[in-house]
Amino acid sequence: MELRQLRYFVAVVEEGGFTRAAARLHLAQPGLSAQIRGLERELGQPLLDRSGRSVTPTEVGRAVLPYARAALAAVEGVQQTADEFGGLLRGRVAIGLVSGAIGHSFDVASLFADFHDAHPGVEIALSEATSEQMQASLLAGELDIALLGRTEEGPSTGLSFQTVIDEVLVAAVAHDDPLLARGDRTEVPLTDLRDRPLICLPRGTGVRAVFEHACSRAGFRPRISFEAAAPSMLAQLAARGLGVAVLPAGEEPADGPLRMLRIVRPELRGRVVLAWRSSGPAGPAARSLLARLRESLPDLPDPSDQPGPSDQPDLPDPSRN
């Protein structure tokens, strides 16, 4: 059994197929398949189920997978320890991004590029997923760092956050929408959206969770007619009169066929946070990149951490002086 065979096996499982794994490993697919079959022959058990549209681990494969990852991590740890003494950074950093994060006001792409220029031995692997999926991947050790949407329901156990975007949610409507019957309107109560067709981000995103939770507390279920992962697509659908788009205020177009109405009673907020395991990323490369991101990205106060009116500390009574 060779370490490269374990590395190939882990890559196929993580990528869900031989084609993507071969591209990630910069190998020809037939050679990759041959190495995996050789590992299976040596172990005397099939590790992968190739019968479906995607390749998945068998029961034996799922049992073997943690040991394969542990073996690779141990070897990587030996190399990283030696590199640290030589002042070098190597390894792979897995980063999850909520859709649209690259194009926001902060230049994440340049931060990654600058880090790569400074540490060319570090591979940065980017992926997009829903916020729920990324939190689970962080806790499972499949991601090192993520930029994801977060609700106001408190921190997830085992994860730490730094708020980098905190924006109110708005209802984007076409200029002939009935909500604009009163021309000077700039706000819309949440309950006015009760029976309207709505356009929103997919389930699992922070904005969708905040919106659905608020609707539930207001006593209704929102009518989601269209979903799109990109806020710009939500705006385009709303501009064609297909519904009311719910999106962060920072995604407002500078001009065009839409009016933005601030959602009130209650005011809703969409937040994007930098997230990582509270114990810290495992490798020195991921720890170094996390430190760079925390220093370079905005560090906004978390509204859910601020004391409410009933939580304010007692002040001295001046009449007693």
Token pair in block for residue 257: 């066929």
Look at residue 250 and tell me if it is in a domain: yes
Whole-angstrom Cα distance, residue 240 to residue 299? Answer: 37
Tell me the one-letter amino acid at 8. Y
Report if residue 215 sits inside a domain.
Answer: yes
pLDDT at 100 (0 to 100)? 56
Give me the domain span that covers residue 211: 165-271
Q: Tell me, yes or no, whether 52 lies in a domain.
A: yes
- Whether 316 maps to a domain, the answer reads no
Establish if 138 belongs to a structural domain: no
Min mean pLDDT across 67-71, 87-91, 192-196, 234-238 is at: 87-91
CATH code, 266: 3.40.190.290
Q: What is the mean pLDDT of residues 203-229?
A: 87
Give residue-wise pLDDT tens across range 149-179: 887 655 567 899 998 888 888 998 888 888 8
Which CATH number covers residue 44?
Answer: 1.10.10.10
190 pLDDT more than 90? yes
The domain tally of the chain equals 2
95 band by pLDDT with thresholds 50, 70 and 90: very high
Give the CA angle between residues 125, 5, 64 to the nearest 5°.
90
- pTM value surpassing 0.85: no
Domain endpoint, select from 56, 86, 116:
86
Residue 248 in contact with residue 123, Cβ under 8 Å?
no
Per-residue pLDDT of 13-54, as tens digits, reads: 999 999 999 998 888 989 999 999 999 999 999 999 998 888
315 falls within a domain: no
pLDDT of amino acid 290 = 92
Q: What is the pLDDT of residues 64-93, one digit of tens each?
A: 999 999 998 888 778 767 766 555 577 789
Highest mean pLDDT (candidates 105-109, 141-145, 314-318) = 141-145
